[in-house]
Amino acid sequence: MLTALGTLCSCNIYKKYDLPSDNNVYVSDFRKATESVDSASLSYLGWEKVFTDPTLQSYIRMALDNNQNLEDARLNVEIAHSQLKGAKLSYLPSLALTPNGGTSSYGGSHMNWSYTIPLAVNWEIDVFAKILNRKRGAQVTKEQMMEYEQAVRSQIICGVANTYYALMLLNQQLDLTRRTSEIWKDQVESMKLMKEAAYTNEAAVVQSEANYYSILASIPDIEEAIKTTQNSLSLLMGVYPKEWSVSSDLDFNLPVALEQGVPVCYLAARPDVRAAERGLAAAYYATNSARAAFYPSLNISAQGGFTNLVGGMLTNPGKWFIQLAGQLSAPIFSRGQNIANLEVAKAQQEKAMNAFETAVLTASADVSDALAKYKASEEKRVALIKQVESLEKSVEYTQELFTLDQKTTYLEVLTARSSLLSAQLASLTCWHNKVSALISLYQAVGGGR
């Protein structure tokens, strides 16, 4: 008996889950981060404080209200909550009312009716933590579903923001391209007049027309991209395709200073990392449940009620009765099923640990990628802005020299204007890359609360 109790205690079937205390660096970092939560960090910053554009805010609210994926995530939380409620109620006894009656006759004798109105009570005493581990497993499963819901919420918020700013980029590109096409149209007319005045030749006129039509040809591509992006935004909103208005203000920055490197607190706040850690806890309790299956089950049952059947005799009127019983059932040989279940549970717990480590590594890579992209875009945009300023002067000077016939060919004018347009478009793209990196960083750290 003492040996059995020692074995029981060594199995830790009563012990509450805690992160493994080995030398796992991922576990150590995660534990430190969860012990020192900074509510003012980027991870816990509300999305309305990050995305301050009123139009964008209204779109995000609409998406959160209408998106089916988020609704499915909420339903999963409700399902897990109901399962937890059922696990908690397992501590209570079960009650059942099973009235029955019948009659019989032998050799033409008088029909004698018998009846029993019993109330049966059955109560499983949780001596070996079987119910306890099921309840704890249901609790962490609910928490895991809540983290998945937060992950979906974050994806929706950042998805709407990314699409919104992509639409802003395309609108800016379309506006720039149209304005440039008008300049080229005027340039073509000027070239024709200069040809008539013998200041240039037909080749220059044809070159200017070709460049003008090239710019016109790019406009339908941008318009098509705008339509596709509008449809993507409609899909996120959960409505039929329609046109969405966007702001023209290109100013967007996170309201907090960005830290260098990948702070551990960023990783611990990510819902997928937290969900993976909750999955590890669920696997732990599943293993405990598999261990508990090797130990006996203790059930106390009682029956009481009213009947007119006592032994083989009928009595009228009937009488009250009560029965009490206790049952201890211990598994001796189950054809290896309990052993197999325990081995499976242990393997699944190891898989859960691998999934947790992978989630931490993935989170770290996502945050690092977003920070690197932001830094590169910020530096590149500074250079592109200076390039645009220089090319604007180049176009102005080249055009003046060409007009004054200072040995400047139209090809130089064409090259200067083409370079300016390319630099302007590149500057817009770089702005979008920077914004996209900031949004990706906000999502990568688990933002969206």
HSE-up (13 A, CA, CB side) for residue 406? 9
Residue 6, pLDDT above cutoff 50: no
* Residue range 253-275, pLDDT digits in tens: 777 766 666 666 677 778 888 88
Work out the angle between the directed axes of helices 410-444 and 202-237 (0-180°, nearest 10): 10
Tell me how far apart the alpha carbons of residues 122 and 304 are, in angstroms, rounded to a whole number.
12
Residue ranges of domains in the chain, CATH in brackets: 40-92+128-294+365-444 (1.20.1600.10)
Buried b (16+ CB within 10 A) or exposed e, 79-117: ebbebbeebeeeeeeeeeeeeeeeeeeeeeeeeeebbbb
CA-derived radius of gyration, the chain: 37
* Residue range 124-144, pLDDT digits in tens: 777 787 888 888 888 888 888
* Residue range 388-415, pLDDT digits in tens: 888 878 777 777 776 766 566 666 777 7
Q: Are 62 and 233 in contact (CB under 8 A)?
A: no
pLDDT, greater one: 438 or 114: 438
Tell me how far apart the alpha carbons of residues 211 and 216 are, in angstroms, rounded to a whole number.
9
Containing 122, the helix (H) or strand (E) segment is strand 112-125
pLDDT, greater one: 307 or 290: 290
Q: What is the pLDDT at residue 4?
A: 46
Q: What's phi and psi for 100, nearest 5 deg? A: -150, 160
Q: Which pTM value belongs to this model?
A: 0.80
* Residue range 46-94, pLDDT digits in tens: 888 888 889 999 999 998 888 888 778 788 888 887 877 887 777 777 7
Tell me how far apart the alpha carbons of residues 93 and 360 are, in angstroms, rounded to a whole number.
43
Label residue 313 by pLDDT band (50, 70, 90).
low
Mean pLDDT of the chain: 80
Q: Which amino acid is at 62?
A: M
